[in-house]
Amino acid sequence: MNATRKGKRWAALSLAVMLAVLAGCSKSNDGADPGGGAAGTAGGESAAGSPSAGASEGGSKAFELWLGWSATINNDSLVQKYWREKEPGIDVKLEATQGDAATALNLKLNTGGFKDAAIFNRSETVKSAMNRSNLLQPLESYFDMPDKYPGLASIPKTYLERMKDKDGHIWSIPTWFDQNPDDPWPGWASNGWFVRTDVLEKTGMKKEDLTTLEGIETFLKKAGEVKDESGKSVIPMSLLMDPNDTISWNDENAVLSAFGVTTGGAAIEKKDGGFVFAFDDPNYKAAYQWLNKLYREKLIDPEVVTNKKEQYQEKNKAGRVAMNVGSFWNIPTSVWETLDGPTEPGWYYDVIPFPKVAGVEQIGSNTVINPNPGFDVYVSKNTKNLEAILKFFDYTLQPKPEQQQVVNEGPAGLYWDWADQPLGKWRFIDENYKKDRNSGDAAQKSKVTPELYMASSYSKEWYPWWNVADVDKAGAAKTTQLTETIGKMGGVRTAHSYDLVPTKQGGLWEKYAPELENIRKEYRAKLLMAKNESEFESAWKSFRDALEKRAHWSELKQEWQESYQADIQAHGEF
């Protein structure tokens, strides 16, 4: 199971998920605005993005693609060899980012930019940095050439329209989008409440007893009396407070959802004709009051704030925790996917409905199904390999349900094939490929595939990791079962226009979003660990003061409202 395919596709749309502002990464153009757009144009290319010499010559068969993330690269992998020798006949040389992506992008743009093309998670901050660099070329004309680039022409127009700047230019090739925006794939919903059923049985309780907060508290108190295999008392409840998480992607969101707070998408919900931001929802405070109560009663892991991810996961693997709240990817899924039966504690993890909270009629959305592109491919205005770039992405973006599988593993019949019928179950047919692919060793995996599925698109009609015919372990099926169950619990919805409001370039959100995240992380720990109710109230007041003084909260919301109105005037509301 590929954990990288979890719900990160919409995380970049969060109001506070943005990378640290890339100060200084823009190269001055002395007020010039070639082609009427912020990103400039290729030498000899018209502002409308008409084909440059590089595109018309047709001799280019290779290009370099810079990945906006760290990865183990082997540019002679079997899948890349297929691309080079068979289809689409392009030699794609990959370069991974070393270290922090924001720092790497800053450095790259200040030293002349990338050679040919770069692919990054969709982010307003990355987009802004790229546009300001004056190193890109416009691409809009290539999406309207169905005879030459049918794959690019098949991109749903609704995505492309939202990408146009004020002059009609499009500065990236969108990838990793749903082929059917009106009926999208539900995604890897993973935020929930997970109980160890073996511990539940030892307490004498059943799942039906865990439908309310009171029932949860009763279970946690009883679970604290259960001993694990080493004779230690079981930790009643835990969650991962990852320093790298965001407002839209963190384990606390499972608790906030139960209290009716929306954290998915942009962490905004439309209620009673207006908008409620997560930090302003009264139940945001109530949720942390409840967590603080559990912490003071020693029902939450006392090391929850300081646990490293490895420590948290090791405790789960060793059977030290009775209940987890948050994403099942963090537990992690390997504690059950590697099992054939009840031989380890991980076998007993199961999801329960979000517990009912008094006064909450509808749980908050923690996952927003965003069919819009999750990645962008930027093309250097100085590339001499434009035709190779366009030809490759025209291939990866063919609107076939199985195309992400083809891009990731090669075509059917080569290293994998259908087990029964097309768009049915599939299995690997090359044992050597399968061995390296599933080895768990990044170096071995890189010998067979660069895992560039995000260069393609996806479809609800067929999703490969829900249709594997051969699973080595019985526990491997549990992850799909869990995500399908969570997806029906009410915390998942499709994106609305207010989830996709672009950040104003050079505006307050771009300036203060990093500080907003710093404040959230600083005060979530203070709120959770407050020694008494009085200290909690003091921490809450300090949190609200910090939002205003350090992050200019009221001004941020005003700017968002203005950006929202401008966006719906340009693109409509949905």
Query: What does the DSSP assignment read for 400-423?
Result: -TTHHHHHHH-SBTTTEEESSSTT
Q: Is the pLDDT score of 161 beyond 90?
A: yes
Whether the pLDDT of residue 233 is over 70: the answer is yes
| Res. 103: pLDDT tops 90 | no
d(C-alpha 280, C-alpha 292), whole Å: 19
Least confident of 17-31, 78-92, 203-217, 462-476: 17-31
Determine whether 187 is exposed, middle or buried from the number of CB atoms within 10 Å of its CB (0-12, 13-18, 19+): buried
Question: CA angle, corner 405, sides to 404 and 410, nearest 5?
Answer: 115
Percent of the chain at pLDDT > 70 equals: 90
pLDDT, averaged across the chain: 88
Average pLDDT over residues 491-514: 91
User: What span, in angstroms and rounded, lies between the C-alpha atoms of 574 and 570?
Assistant: 12
Establish if 8 belongs to a structural domain: no
Residue 37 reports pLDDT greater than 60: no
On whether both 480 and 340 belong to a single domain, the answer is yes
In the chain, the number of structural domains is 3
Residue 467 domain-assigned?
no
Residue 109 confidence (pLDDT): 92
Q: How confident is the model at residue 469, as a pLDDT?
A: 86
Q: Is residue 140 part of a domain?
A: yes
Residue 422 and residue 362 share a domain:
no
Nearest to 473 by CA among 317, 335, 338: 338
Instruction: Evaluate if residue 183 carries a pLDDT over 80.
Output: yes
Q: Within this chain, do residues 312 and 416 fall inside the same structural domain, yes or no?
A: no
Confidence at residue 27, expressed as pLDDT on a 0 to 100 scale: 30
| Statement to judge: residues 82 and 163 lie in one domain | yes
Mean of pLDDT values over 516-535: 97
Instruction: Specify whether 212 is located in the same domain as 321.
Output: yes
Residues 509 and 484 in one domain: no
Q: Would the pLDDT of 259 be above 50?
A: yes
**Model confidence band, residue 471 (pLDDT cutoffs 50, 70, 90):** confident
Least confident of 48-57, 67-76, 412-421, 514-523: 48-57
Q: What is the pLDDT of residue 470?
A: 82
**Is it the case that residue 415 has pLDDT exceeding 50?**
yes
Which residue in this structure is represented by tokens 């099992």?
339
Q: Residue 261: give its domain's CATH number.
A: 3.40.190.10
**Region 206-227 average pLDDT:** 97
Confidence of residue 208 (pLDDT cuts 50, 70, 90): very high
Q: How far apart are the first and last CA of the chain?
A: 34
Whether residues 174 and 278 fall in one domain: no
Report the alpha-carbon distance of residue 306 to residue 49 in Å, rounded.
51
- For residue 140, name the pLDDT band (cuts at 50, 70, 90): very high
> Does 387 share its domain with 525?
no
Q: Are residues 228 and 323 in the same domain?
A: yes
Range name among 399-413, 447-461, 477-491 with the lowest pLDDT average: 477-491
**Token duo for residue 217:** 């508290």
> Residue 33 has what pLDDT?
28
Which of left, alpha, beta for 445 (phi over 0: left; psi -120 to 50: alpha)? alpha
Mean pLDDT score, 510-531: 95
Do 218 and 335 fall within a single domain? yes
Does 72 map to a domain?
yes
92, 217: one domain: no
Tell whether the model's pLDDT for residue 2 goes beyond 70.
no
In this model, does residue 4 exceed pLDDT 80? no
Q: Which segments of 237-355 does DSSP mark as H helices, in order?
A: 252-258, 282-296, 309-317, 334-337
Query: Rounded to the nearest 5°, which phi and psi values hold at 293?
Result: -60, -45
Query: Is the pLDDT score of 313 beyond 90?
Result: yes
Core vs surface per residue 440-453: b (16+ CB within 10 A) or e: eeeeebbbbbbbbb
DSSP class per residue in 370-386 = --S-SEEEEEBTT-S-H
The answer as to whether 42 is a domain residue is: no
Q: Which domain holds residue 403?
A: 62-179+371-461
Span 275-298, pLDDT tens digits: 999 999 999 999 999 999 999 999
| Longest alpha-carbon distance in the chain | 76
Residue 56: pLDDT over 80: no
Measured CA to CA, the distance from residue 403 to residue 421 in angstroms comes to 16
- Determine the Cα–Cα distance for residues 442 and 73; give it in Å rounded to an integer: 9
Q: What is the mean pLDDT of residues 432-452?
A: 94
Q: What is the pLDDT of residue 59?
A: 64
84 falls within a domain: yes
Q: State the pLDDT confidence band at 17, using cuts at 50, 70 and 90.
A: very low
**Both structure tokens of 223:** 């679970």
Find residue 246's DSSP bridge partners: 249
Is residue 186 assigned to a domain? no
Q: What mean pLDDT is predicted for residues 436-465?
A: 94
> How many CA atoms does the CB half-sphere of 517 hold within 13 Å?
22
The answer to whether position 57 is within a domain reads no
Whether residues 255 and 399 fall in one domain: no
